[in-house]
Amino acid sequence: MIVPSPIVAPSILAADFAHLADEVRAVENAADWLHVDVMDNHFVPNLTIGLPVVQSLRAATQLPFDVHLMIEDPRRWAPGYADAGAYNVTFHAEACDDPVALAKDLRSAGAKAGLAIDRDTPIEPYLELLPSFDTLLIMTIKAGFGGQRFIPQLLDKVRAARRHVDSGHLELRIEVDGGIAADTIEQAAAAGADAFVAGTAVYGAADPAEAVRRLRGLAERAASGA
């Protein structure tokens, strides 16, 4: 297993939305990416933030934005997030009938392209599409809400993806999202994930920056097999 150094992406879904800029600055020197969950109350029942908030937030931090679109019709909306300066834009496989075409659009708009796989979606049909993507986000919960319990069985998808990425020498981050915390990140890293979204585990901590560093240390150790 050839795994690059782990990325930790705090999810602002668990932050105080009345003080978003301050919450982002709290992890500015510790995080690798900032994970931004966009939900439309259609693809998932929950509703969060959209483009205007992402545009405003873009000016408030240097952190690369890892935008996770849990929305219907991503072909209509996703390129706008690339135009707004997102580093990586991830959309759900379940919401898109031509993921490769949208990945191309995102890359031409200057962003990395990410494909997300929800809890009940098998990974196998999507493995052959991975050369068109820069990140593969494997949900370790059902998408829609923070604070849910990590589902360890979903790491089988991470293992399958890691095998595929390594054997095909693909340059692709394998990201996990949902219930990632000090007691779950090591198993996700050992399964082959190399990017870790954490909402509650970061913003529920007394010191969010310290929580990020601790998570990264645990992931590094697990990935090196220590």
In the complex, which residues of this chain contact ligand DX5 (CB under 6 A)? Answer: 11, 13-14, 35, 37, 68, 143-148, 177-180, 197-201
Active site residue 98: no
For residue 135, with 0-12 CB atoms within 10 Å meaning exposed, 13-18 middle and 19 or more buried, which class applies? buried
Which region, judged by CB under 5 A, interacts with Zn ion, from 34-42, 86-94, 163-171, 179-187?
34-42
| Rounded Cα distance, 178 and 209, in Å | 19
Q: How far is the CB of 44 from ligand DX5 (least distance, A)?
A: 7
| Cβ atoms within 10 Å of 64's Cβ, excluding its own | 16
Of the pair 8, 201, the CB lying nearest ligand DX5 is at 201
For Zn ion, the binding residue among 68, 157, 162, 214 (CB under 5 A) is 68
From 105, 134, 177, 194, active-site residue: 177
Counting contacts by CB under 5 A, is residue 37 touching Zn ion?
yes
Q: Which is nearer to Zn ion, 204 or 221 (CB)?
A: 204
Alpha carbon distances (Å) from 125 to 76, 93, 94, 105, 153: 23, 10, 12, 21, 19
CA distances from 105 to 10, 89, 101, 112, 170 (A): 26, 11, 6, 10, 20
177 is catalytic: yes
The closest of 51, 30, 32 to 40, measured between CA atoms, is 51
Find the binder of Zn ion among 23, 118, 177, 194 (CB under 5 A).
177
Residue with the CB atom nearest ligand DX5 in the bound state:
199
Which residue numbers are catalytic? 37, 177
